[in-house]
Structure 1
Amino acid sequence: MGNAAARTAVGPMVIVAVDQYEEVPLVRDKLAYRLLPAGVKLMASVSRIPLVRRWMINATEKQAPGLWASMLCRKRYIDDQLRDAVKSGVEAVVILGAGLDTRAYRLPWLNGLPVYEVDLPENISRKRAVLQRLYGKIPDHVTLVPIDFETEDLQEVLTAHGHRADTKTVFVWEAVTQYLTEGAARRTFDYLSTAAIGSRLMFTYVRKDFLDGASLFGGEAMYREYVVKRRLWRFGMEPDQVAGFLSEYGWCLADHIGPREFADRYLKRRGRDLTASEVERSVCAEKA
């Protein structure tokens, strides 16, 4: 299961890399293409042709309506929230399930902060090799932290890599929770409950009614692939229960958005004829 989840790290970066050819990218990320595996780069590079790019988007939308816009919008949303968190005085960044994420290297407001990128050992090894190729070493402000979220203690592992529990921290947990069991997700929230006052948390989740098959929101193919066939997506939340869930762990819901807010904040303003999916939603919370 861990290896299967690890392999899903490439897909979102392909979408970000392709989006760089749009007149106004939703996420400006010149590193995305460079982090892709060699075989995938060709596919991303030919998307500079508008007809090819449109074909790629349409093919993705046919299989998973709203997925293309959702991946871009959630990244832009978390970037914006990170900037606000830095302005508020956070002292460190922990990215849980970092995959091939580039925030530590492309966002100028993170340059002066220690960033801990936490992920499965397979993904960390891949990230280390890519960073060595790009920069010749791991940038000084970045610490790569390998972990198996199902079996290892997050607090012990982060502490061993230099993160202090009393540091006001912004935690980013993007597109990870659905791959965990409820037990593993709650163990992570147990750790997050110990975060310093003033810390921030940005995470995404898949709706529980989608995982249960009760409401598929047009994502029947995605449901069959990720829930039924591959059994990769296991943990979900109900939107009206998120605030209560967070309060159990000492966090206050600050923002909770989905396709409507993504359209208003990002898509319409840039003239993008895309619609985000209701299957996944994004959350920002503050440690009370």
Structure 2
Amino acid sequence: MKATAASKTAQYMALFRALEYGRPAYQRLFTDPYAFSFLSGGLKMATRLSGIPFVRNIIRGIIQRKIPGAYSSGLARTRYIDDLLESTVSQGVQQVIILGAGFDTRGIRLPFLKPLKVIEVDHPNTAKEKMAIVAQQLGKLPEHITYYQLDFNQQTLDAFSFDFSLPTTIIWEGVTNYLDAAAIDATFAFASRFAPGSFVIFTYVHQGVLNTPEQFFGAEKLLKDLEQIEERWTFGFAPEQLPAYLAKYHLELKEDLGAEDYRKRYIPERAEKGYEFYRVAMAASNSILSFHT
């Protein structure tokens, strides 16, 4: 993935959230009034035009043809992670760390995070762009959020100060599939240092999509398209091997759903196929803690 600019996939996820905000409040999976501000000019225009019902349907159709399943699964994934995060806060988490934060707006759009310490970590270029937009939208940077600027090619998380004594939830969304095994190991080792009652919420792709993409609907085209924008996927987990892997870091797997599952949970009326290989998992540092829906 390019480190010199915010990724195009981050733009697309912001687009999905902005389109959702354009729906009537009672129909939304979540409310994100800030996503629009992170969009490029063309995507802002598309979002404005989506207020016209037939145009909205055209936009959805274009996205579905270009990236099958990404739109509906992206919306459901956002809500799913929101719910997982809120559950961990209700169980006593006092600090939230968002790794590879990109255009994630949870720190400013979720009321239950306002009393907590939130730390966002990202590449300096992306972090600076985001900080400027957030300050413009809110009038100043929020006091409860700390922004760490980290170049993963030159620094590690040890370069910054973290309070490991606090029960902490780490959100690691849309990142693992761009890393190598050493970086994955190092990050889970970092997560294991936090107090009991801590959690890691992360996304990953099924390892099979990297080895045999033809077995997954839409995967071959997606991987080719990603290579063209220099966002090649490099890492995946086999779901059946994930519990044993996490156990090495004193973490217990609590949730692990593919896109088909969380799409059915939150938008069962959307019968789209695609992106089933993109998964959300949550692990806990204490086996007595769990997420309940």
The verdict on a shared fold, with TM-score over 0.5 as the criterion, is yes
| Contact 2:4–2:125 under 8 Å retained in 1 | no
Counterpart of 2:289 in structure 1 is none
Counterpart of 1:63 in structure 2 is 66
- Mind listing any 5+ residue stretches in structure 1 that lack a counterpart? none
Offset, 1:20:
2.0
Deviations for 1:142-171, whole angstroms, at most 9, x for unmatched residues?
1111112343211332x1xxx311111011
Counterpart of 1:102 in structure 2 is 105
Secondary structure at the aligned position of 1:284 is classed as strand
- Between the two proteins, what is the percent identity of the paired residues? 34
1:6 aligns to 2:11 (yes or no) = no
Distance 1:256 1:245, change over 3 A: same
Counterpart of 1:194 in structure 2 is 193
The letter for the 1-side match of 2:226 is Y
1:224 aligns to 2:224 (yes or no) = yes
* Count, aligned residues: 282
| Contact 2:206–2:237 under 8 Å retained in 1 | yes
Offset, 1:95:
0.5
Give the alignment of 1:1-288 within 5 angstroms: 1-3=1-3, 6-8=6-8, 9-23=10-24, 24-157=27-160, 159=161, 163-214=162-213, 215-227=215-227, 230=230, 232-268=232-268, 271-275=269-273, 277-288=275-286
Deviations for 1:104-134, whole angstroms, at most 9, x for unmatched residues?
1111100100100111111101111101211
Q: TM-score, normalised by structure 1?
A: 0.91
Q: Distance in 2 between matches of 1:118 and 1:256?
A: 24
| Contact 2:217–2:274 under 8 Å retained in 1 | no
Q: Distance in 2 between matches of 1:35 and 1:231?
A: 19
Q: TM-score, normalised by structure 2?
A: 0.90
Q: Distance in 2 between matches of 1:65 and 1:4?
A: 28
| Contact 1:2–1:120 under 8 Å retained in 2 | no
Secondary structure at the aligned position of 2:120 is classed as strand
Distance 1:182 1:228, change over 3 A: farther
| Contact 2:72–2:263 under 8 Å retained in 1 | no
User: What value does the CA root-mean-square deviation take over the aligned residues?
Assistant: 1.9
Q: Distance in 1 between matches of 2:181 and 2:114?
A: 34
